[in-house]
Chain A
Amino acid sequence: GPKVLQIPSHQIIDMGQMVTLNCDPVSNHLYFYWYKQILGQQMEFLVNFYNGKVMEKSKLFKDQFSVERPDGSYFTLKIQPTALEDSAVYFCASSLAGAGAETLYFGSGTRLTVL
């Protein structure tokens, strides 16, 4: 089936540094998402993105977070600067349409550890 690739699978970074998480979504998909999962907790919505713009973001999407997809390449999540509480697994997802019943295709996640 369609695959979403996330690079890298693990990243360790010092607090205060910048990190960029990369996502290669399904090729014909138009909607893109980031979810955050802290160890032992559920996946939580961070942000969705369509047509070059953020459509909706949650309260977890702090000012230090930004997303973009320049020229149809990777969909990225940038955190600058990082904080200890940013340690989590970040899942990227994409979908063909934005309707409520649309299937989201997820990547395997990037485990971010902030020291």
Chain B
Amino acid sequence: GDSVTQTEGLVTLTEGLPVMLNCTYQSTYSPFLFWYVQHLNEAPKLLLKSFTDNKRPEHQGFHATLHKSSSSFHLQKSSAQLSDSALYYCALSDPTGGNNKLTFGQGTVLSVIP
């Protein structure tokens, strides 16, 4: 079946340093990939998504490039801010199915410190 792997459970960074959160996936098809972010006591919300190989969607300073050759969709930002502290989920869905079912990774907590 499909799976998403986020290798880091917790990433702690000093403000101003670059962010990179890892995401790799396994799927029998060519999936859509998503990053969702969940701030403390809030709902998870979409950060960005992609389907196209080697395209780099951006949102709120974050970007992620889908590399189908390596089955990766790592999340990056050039300079971390304190407000980026949150739980980040990588997820995929099947573009051929009509049911919009997401398969999530375990999530990475990003903690940005002054």
**Of A48, A56, A103, the contact of B46 (CB 8 Å cutoff):** A103
User: Number of contacts between A and B (CB, 8 Å)?
Assistant: 72
27 residue pairs A–B, Cβ–Cβ below 8 Å: A4-B43, A35-B102, A35-B104, A43-B102, A45-B102, A55-B98, A55-B99, A56-B99, A56-B101, A91-B43, A91-B44, A99-B95, A99-B98, A100-B93, A100-B94, A100-B97, A100-B98, A101-B32, A101-B49, A101-B95, A102-B100, A104-B46, A104-B100, A105-B43, A105-B45, A107-B43, A108-B43
Interface size on A, residues (CB 8 A): 29
Interface of A is mostly: loop
The list of the 4 closest CB pairs from A to B, nearest first, reads A100-B95, A56-B99, A106-B43, A42-B106
A43 to B36, CA, bound (A): 12
Interface size on B, residues (CB 8 A): 28
A93 to B89, CA, bound (A): 15
A31 to B102, CA, bound (A): 13
A101 to B93, CA, bound (A): 7
- A interface vs B, CB < 8 Å? 1, 3-4, 31, 33, 35, 41-45, 48, 55-56, 91, 95, 97-109
